[in-house]
A and B are shown apart, each in its own frame.
Chain A
Amino acid sequence: MSKVKMHRSSPSIDMTPMVDLAFLLVTFFMLTATAKPDEPVEVSIPSSVSEMPIPERDMIVITISKDNKVFFTVDGQTTRAKMLEEVGKQYNVTFSPEETHDFAVLTSFGIPIQTLKQFLDLGREERKEIPQPGIPVDSLNNQLKDWVLQARLANPKVRIAIKGDADSTYPVLKKVINTLLDRKVNRFNLITGDEQLPPEMKAAINASKKPA
């Protein structure tokens, strides 16, 4: 008799706790998530023991790709629009309001200013497929320095970070750093990934930091 009874009630499972949990997680991820910005190049950053968190706003990020191309981005749509206008003026390129808007919502870019206009006239999908040549940083034709200058004028609070691919070579980094030094930027950040330290080392670092 008891067998029949059990058989009837057991297959119906109460899903409420699972649903609760699922929605809790959904809410959590929705609130904490920041969508991955789609970047023109994939960069694998080297790891370091540094534990300084990266500021979320007011950042100029100079990306160095694996094949030593330089990309530039700064956050804030108004900053970007203003910066584009000023740099355009310098190189005698004018941008239409649509192009400016497209630029403002763009992520990292690595296009010389001369061809930036054509690039912005392309569709969203087309843009993704075009290989970007990188921003010129040579001493004769250094557009990075203009971007940095105008970005800092448009938003004086910005800080500068360099996000280099682990396999990019040193000369490019040197060029970028020299560009920054020319602009009197002596303090900047290198973006790195996590690396775990043995605990005794951590204690040693903290101890050495105190007297300094």
Chain B
Amino acid sequence: MAEIQGGGGEGGKKGGKVRSKKTSTRIDMTPMVDLAFLLLTFFVLTSTLSKPQTMEITMPEKPKENDKQPEVNEKKVLTLVLGANDKVYWYVGITEPEAKRVDFSKDGIRKVLIEKKAEIRDLIVLIKAMDESKYRNMVDIMDEITITGIQRFAIVDITPADKEIVKEVR
């Protein structure tokens, strides 16, 4: 209530005229306040406060038939395989690599990326997602790439050979 009459019982005994004179300058704001808060609640509940962010990725064009693929030194290639249940497998090189399993925690894949970045010059990271991996894993791994500041990385389709390498770790 906008205004609560002081000393209710006492006021009742007095004449109506006196009372009305006393309150005449005051407006009862209650309906307005009600409305204001109703609107306020409505807008607070319907508005989306945190705007989603976006992550821009640029994929290479699909290679044409005659295109030559650039050759890279296999020792500079770090392959990350995104597996099921939020697991990441990583290995360096292509011929008979030794794969290891880590997770997405701070001491998991991030540590590996930081170590390898310091160890290998011009490191190239290949991200290969298995069919069971989740979209979340993809975003997470790209986050880690951004955090560790790795410049060269690519999202590549997984090959049966990769699956074999990873299978042994499990």
Known: A7-B7, A173-B135. A191 touches B60 (CB 8 A): no
| Contact (Cβ within 8 A) A173 B138 | yes
A134 within 8 A of B: no
**How many residues of chain B get a CB closer than 8 Å to chain A's CBs?**
52
- Residues in A10-26 with C-beta less than 8 Å from chain B: 10-13, 15-16, 18-19, 22-23, 25-26
> How many interface residues does chain A have, given as a range?
35 or more
| Contact (Cβ within 8 A) B47 A33 | yes
User: Cβ of B61: which chain A residues have Cβ within 8 Å of it?
Assistant: 181, 184, 186
| Contact (Cβ within 8 A) B134 A186 | no
> Within the assembled complex, what's the spacing in Å between the Cα atoms of A101 and B169?
56
A195 within 8 A of B: yes
A67 within 8 A of B: no
User: Cβ of A177: which chain B residues have Cβ within 8 Å of it?
Assistant: 59
Q: Which stretch in B12-20, B50-58, B94-102 binds the other chain?
A: B50-58
Binary contact readout A1-41 vs B (1 if CB under 8 angstroms, 0 otherwise): 00000011111110110110011011001101111100000
| Contact (Cβ within 8 A) A192 B33 | no
| Contact (Cβ within 8 A) A205 B136 | no
User: Cβ of B135: which chain A residues have Cβ within 8 Å of it?
Assistant: 46, 64, 164-170, 173
| Contact (Cβ within 8 A) A15 B52 | no
User: Cβ of B47: which chain A residues have Cβ within 8 Å of it?
Assistant: 29, 32-36
| Contact (Cβ within 8 A) A168 B134 | yes
A130 within 8 A of B: no
What's the minimum C-beta distance from B129 to chain A, rounded to whole angstroms?
Answer: 4
What's the minimum C-beta distance from B58 to chain A, rounded to whole angstroms?
Answer: 5
> Within the assembled complex, what's the spacing in Å between the Cα atoms of A181 and B64?
13
Majority secondary structure, A binding face: mixed
Majority secondary structure, B binding face: mixed
B32 within 8 A of A: yes
- Residues in A175-212 with C-beta less than 8 Å from chain B: 177, 180-182, 184, 186-195, 197, 201, 204-205, 207-209, 212
What's the minimum C-beta distance from B163 to chain A, rounded to whole angstroms?
Answer: 14
What's the minimum C-beta distance from A134 to chain B, rounded to whole angstroms?
Answer: 15
| Contact (Cβ within 8 A) A50 B134 | no
21 A-B residue pairs with Cβ-Cβ distance under 8 Å, sorted by A, are A7-B6, A8-B6, A11-B4, A11-B5, A13-B2, A13-B3, A19-B32, A23-B36, A26-B40, A36-B46, A45-B52, A48-B143, A54-B54, A168-B134, A169-B135, A170-B133, A180-B59, A189-B55, A189-B57, A190-B139, A193-B52
